[in-house]
Amino acid sequence: MDKNKFYITTAIDYVNDTIHIGHAFQKIAADVLARYNRIILGKDNVFFLTGTDEYGQKAEKAAKTAGISPLEFVRKVSLSDRQQQDSLNISYDRFIETTDKDHTKVAQEIWKRVDKNDDIYTGEYTGLYCEGCEAYYDDSDLKNGKCSFHPNLKIKKITEENYFFKWSKYKDFLINHIKKNKDFIFPHERENEMLEFAKNIKDIPISRSNFTWGVPVPASPQGGPNDPKQVMYVWFDALTNYLTGVGFLEDKKLFAKFWPADIHILGKDNLRWHALLWPAILKSAEIELPKTILVNGFLNLNGQKISKSLGNIIRPTDWVKKYGADAVRYYLLRYTNLTNDSDISEEKLKQAYNADLANGLGNLVSRVAKLCETNDLSLEPQSKLKISDPIEKRIKEFRFNDALGVIQSAITLTNTSINEDEPWKLKGNKLQSSLEKQILRLRQIAVDIKPFLPQTAEKIEAQFKGPKIISAKPLFPRIT
Which residue from 78, 87, 97, 77 is spatially nearest to 24, judged by alpha carbons?
A: 87
Q: Report the distance separating Cα 61 and Cα 42, nearest Å.
A: 44
At 226 the pLDDT is: 67
CB 85 within 8 A of CB 92: yes
Q: How many CB atoms lie within 10 A of CB 350?
A: 17
**Largest distance between two CA atoms of the chain:** 87
Q: Report the distance separating Cα 407 and Cα 361, nearest Å.
A: 10
CA dihedral for 210, 215, 219, 220, sign (positive or negative):
negative
Indicate the pTM of the whole model.
Answer: 0.93
pLDDT by residue for the chain (480 residues), tens digit each?
447 999 999 999 999 899 999 999 999 999 999 999 999 999 999 999 999 999 998 899 999 999 999 999 999 999 999 999 999 999 999 999 999 999 999 999 999 999 999 999 999 888 787 776 766 777 777 777 777 776 777 787 878 889 999 999 999 999 999 999 999 999 999 999 999 999 999 999 999 988 999 999 986 555 545 687 899 999 999 999 999 999 999 999 999 999 999 999 999 999 999 999 999 999 999 999 999 999 999 999 999 999 887 889 999 999 999 999 999 999 999 999 999 999 999 999 999 999 999 999 999 999 999 999 999 999 988 889 999 999 999 999 999 999 999 999 999 999 999 999 999 999 999 999 999 999 999 999 999 999 999 999 999 999 999 999 999 999 999 998
**At 307, which amino acid appears?**
S
Q: Report the distance separating Cα 446 and Cα 141, nearest Å.
A: 47
At 225 the pLDDT is: 52
Which residue from 7, 160, 209 is spatially nearest to 94, judged by alpha carbons?
A: 7
Q: Write out the catalytic residue numbers.
A: 20, 23, 130, 133, 147, 150, 305, 308
